[in-house]
Structure 1
Amino acid sequence: MSTTATTGRPQGRTTGRPKVVVLGAGFAGLSAVRELDGVDADVLLVDKNAYNTFQPLLFQVSTGGLNPGDVTYSLRTFTGGRRRVGFRQGTATGVDAENKVLRMEGGDDVAYDYLIVSSGIAANYFGIPGAEEHTLTMYTRNGAVEVRDRLMTAFESAAKHTGGEPPCIVVVGGGATGTEMAGAIAELRNTYVAENYPELDPSRVRVVCIEMLDFVLAPFDDSLRQYARRSLEQRGVELRLGSAVAEVREDAVLLKGGEEIPSALTIWTSGVSAPKALSEWGFPQGRGGRLQTDPDLRIQGSDAVFAVGDVGAVDGAPLPQLAQPAIQTGKHAAANVKKLLAGQPTEAFSYSDKGTMAIVGRYSAVADIKWPFKGKFTGAIGWLMWMGLHITLLHSFRNRLAALTNIASHYVSRSGMQNVIVGEPRRVPQAGRSESDEPEAERDPQLEKQGGRAA
């Protein structure tokens, strides 16, 4: 295990009660804290951000349907009303499992009796040249904001240079995130661009979705995949199924086989892995860098550290990287911590698959429901189910009200699509034009890619 030296003194165990540290404030981490609320122990939630991000709605932020604040929730607010629960903003750099210390950037280390690691995931670029350097991702609030700003700048730049090539937006990956992104961008083009950019022919503004498999939405039943495919094509998305990316350049994506697709913006949704920094923590890892756990969710070889959510693989079998597995594993790990505190044996985790959903566009979604009833749904019914579930899962009444109002305006009222939420401009590569033709917008360090550290 990591035993990196530190100049700080580990903080904790000042009350005489056991200390439980939850690292990461995603679905799994918050679920764990809720389960630990009221336990006779001091609980500390640690995250690099002071807010939780509701990731399933980030694609709405990136296409101007929601404000970033609609999908974020203050972690101080979350912990403030809970008994013996605190919050610490900081970046974890390692774990000294022998001495039960969570190493923190800056040396402000944290002692624990039990640690629940729920640090989430990062993009997996599979070693493809240029992918990390020239694509944007959708896993953080900052990432979604940068996609939005670059997308709107692409439209403005194309309108200003009417003699040039209209922008082509490329989405790599045909899973749920890629399908939702491609569908949302196509609808934005078909409504907002068509109405507000007389300089552009919206039919020439391309939206391309690249998927290595021969179908989109791999986890779904084939009938739902086919529906999603038809729905994307009806919205004008160009699907490149059975195609693999060979290289990503600043202004183009090259496919194996030789096709070159010009790109003003390339969005990477093709794969995820555990944060790279976890490889230095000394824990056993499996496919995608996920931490290997025993059936009770404790990391193999450890008696006090649990791994939950996207970052863990239960007994060598990774669960789907969705909200429900994260919520369930977080709750179960916390329940096992409570058993250990009470001197009781832990219990093995058993996943209850409640189904999965994906939205394609206005009144178009797919839903494969397995609990509390079984059924497969498409179209407006699937869309209403998707909408209702995601609004309900938001963490506060304020978030729900704001999201419901903005999404209703964005989807239900056609006029709402003509007033998208926009932000700061970003430089967008244009095919056939030198970078010197246009000054580069000042970079915002808060929007730089985050990498190398967990939670």
Structure 2
Amino acid sequence: MTLAQAKPAERPRVVIVGAGFGGLATAKGLAGVPVDVVVIDKTNHNLFQPLLYQVATAALAPSDIAVPVRSIFSDRPEVTVLMDEATGIDTNRRVVRLAEAGEIGFDMLVLATGSVYSWFGHDEWAEHAYVLKTLEDALMLRGSLLAAFEWAESRTDPSEIERLLTFVVVGGGPTGVELAGAIAELAHSSLSRDFRHIRSSSARIVLCEGGPHLLAGFPQHLSDYARKHLEDLHVEVLTNTAVQSVDHDGVVAGGTRINSANVLWCAGTAATPAAVWLQADKSRNGAVKIAPDCTVPGHIDIFAVGDVTDMTGPNGKPLPGVGPVAKQQGAYVAEVIAARVAGRPAPARFVYKDAGSMAMVGRSSAVADLGKVRLTGFVAWVLWSAVHLFFLIGTRNRIAVYLNWAWAWLTYGRGARLITRLDPRTRLELKQQNDAGSRPV
């Protein structure tokens, strides 16, 4: 018997695909509503993605920013959690197709499937670059970053050492800026006394941005501050520098070859294929165009929230693909569902309340755009830290992250410098280039 056949008749079933910011906000908002809720995600944990780069740069452990989804709803018997991957939707039969469990029926469906990185038509580049979307991505990147220093320690060929200690970050948005700053601090501070044959502080960190400014959505003076601070950390900031190719030797950017063993891709996103499943209107990046009540046009009982959506804000521009948008949309959809079940009029159209944007650009320094108030430096960093601690799920995670940050601030140390994942591509590449340039023990 499939899950579609097993659906109880007496209570509506709300199926939520995706346990990120939007999916969890919807499920939490349905507490006390007489519906059965099924949360489906291809992992068993909720991930606090804004701090994923800190796992990748050895500042935090994976368990510090992730919690099991089941534990969040352990006291809600009406919520069922399934670890599975949605592969399609049959709107006529009102079922979601799953990779493992067959099908599951729904009365109302919420798509919170998020986004993936876009390669701008060059999918072959993915083989040679690292991305940051999952814990597995972060652990793979952490292993590659740390292994680059380990392998450089055993090399004698200067060109090979230079390649290993060159890190190219593609994309000057918040993730790229934060990642570049974190790698610079890892190389110049945390690892500075650990090696005997190389100077980790000689590492070259290059940040490539195709547009004229970093942090394009921020005011100009905050963008300028971020650039200056990164340059003070010895990050090479290359604006108006588009990447023309990515291969196993590095990148070509702005017509110049940069040899690097680690290319980190933080440029552009594309929506997951929900629009294709529904045969719905979509934007250029594949996001589902949704109505003001977050329903998919033509499907009154199917909602979409977060990065998978395309919705225009009050300023006439598409809403940004950030966590607060997904959370607010999820909470709003829960209100709409609750009103329908109770027979009440639906709430007014969704309006995003923008509380501002922030980005950390290094130790004790950040930028914050809060509308009328714009901050830089230590004050912005304190605010950035407080906001991120507040939005973490679970007291244990907040305490763990706070203690790690306090230790790192006092000692310049990073407590998660363990290589637990190593990309097979990196192993193979190193083996092919090996031996001739190795330092004898």
Tell me which residue corresponds to 1:131.
125
Q: Does 1:153 align with 2:147?
A: yes
Q: Secondary structure of 2:218's match?
A: coil
* Alpha-carbon separation, structure 2, partners of 1:423 and 1:390: 26
CA-to-partner distance for each residue in 1:61-114, whole Å, 9 max, x for gaps? 001010001011111101111251221111101111122111111353111110
Establish whether residue 352 from structure 1 lines up as the match of residue 353 from structure 2: yes
> Following superposition of structure 1 onto structure 2, how do residues 238-277 of structure 1 map, counting pairs within 5 Å?
238-256=236-254, 258-276=255-273
Which range moves more in the overlay, 313-322 or 178-187?
A: 313-322
Tell me which moved more, 168-177 or 96-105: 96-105
1:356-398 Cα deviation digits (max 9, x unpaired):
100011101001124xxx4111111000000011011111001
Contact 2:149 2:200 in 1 (8 A): no
1:97 aligns with 2:91: yes
**More deviation, 349-358/105-114:** 105-114
Contact 1:150–1:427, Cα closer than 8 Å, also in 2: no
Once the two structures are TM-superposed, the CA of residue 404 in structure 1 deviates from its matched residue by 0.9
- 1:196 is paired with a residue whose SS is coil
Q: Give the gaps of 5 or more residues in structure 2.
A: 436-441
Match runs of 1:209-288 below 5 Å: 209-256=207-254, 258-276=255-273, 278-288=275-285
Aligned amino acid, residue 407 of structure 1: W
Q: Distance in 2 between matches of 1:146 and 1:384?
A: 29
Deviations 1:1-33 (A, max 9, x none): xxxxxx945155325111111110101111111
The Cα shift of 1:230 comes to 0.3
Aligned-partner Cα distance in 2 for 1:433–1:90: 35
Structure 2 CA distance for aligned equivalents of residues 130 and 95 of structure 1: 29
- Using a 3 Å threshold, how does the CA distance of structure 1 residues 12 and 117 change in structure 2: closer, same or farther? farther
Cα deviation code 1:179-232 (max 9, x no counterpart): 000000001111123221232133431100000011100111111001000000
Q: 1:422 maps to which residue?
A: 418
Map of 2:389 onto structure 1: 391
Of the candidates 294, 300, 306, which is equivalent to residue 291 of structure 2?
294
Q: Aligned match of 2:177 in 170, 179, 191?
A: 179
1:157-168 equivalent positions in 2, closer than 5 A: 157-164=151-158, 165-166=161-162, 167-168=165-166
8 A Cα contact 1:250 1:429, kept in partner: no
| Shift, 1:428, TM fit | 7.6
Deviations 1:335-363 (A, max 9, x none): 11112222334331111110010001110
**C-alpha RMSD over aligned residues:** 2.1
**CA 209–315 in structure 1, closer or farther in 2 if over 3 Å, else same:** closer
Deviations 1:127-186 (A, max 9, x none): 136421111111111111111000000010111104333320110000000000000000
Alignment of 1:24-173 (within 5 A): 24-128=18-122, 130-164=124-158, 165-166=161-162, 167-173=165-171
Secondary structure at 2:366's aligned position in 1? strand
Alignment CA distance shift 1:334-1:236 (3 Å): same
TM-score scaled to structure 1, two decimals? 0.89
Q: Distance in 2 between matches of 1:129 and 1:333?
A: 34
1:9/1:405 CA distance change after superposition, 3 Å: closer
Range with greater deviation from structure 2 (360-369 or 279-288): 279-288
* 1:379 corresponding residue in structure 2: 377
List gaps (5 residues or longer) in structure 1.
Answer: 1-6, 439-455
In structure 2, the partner of 1:310 is 307
The CA distance in 1 between the partners of 2:173 and 2:3, in whole Å, is 45
Q: Does the Cα contact within 8 Å between 1:95 and 1:103 map onto a contact in 2?
A: yes
Runs in 1 of length 4+ with deviation above 6 angstroms?
none
Distance 1:360 1:213, change over 3 A: same
Q: Which moved more, 1:109-118 or 1:310-319?
A: 310-319
Letter of the aligned partner of 1:422 in structure 2? L
Q: 1:275-333 CA deviation, whole Å, 9 max, x = no partner?
A: 24752442221121101111100011111100101111125953111111111011111
Alpha-carbon distance between aligned partners in 2 of 1:220 and 1:182, rounded to the nearest angstrom: 18
2:351 is matched by which residue type in structure 1?
S
Indicate if the aligned counterparts of 1:118 and 1:309 stay in contact, CA closer than 8 A.
Answer: yes
Give the 3 Å change call, closer, same or farther, for CA 215–263 of structure 1 in structure 2: same
Going from structure 1 to structure 2, the CA distance change for 1:9 and 1:17 (only over 3 Å counts) comes to closer
SS, match of residue 359 in structure 2:
strand
Show the counterpart of 2:327: 327
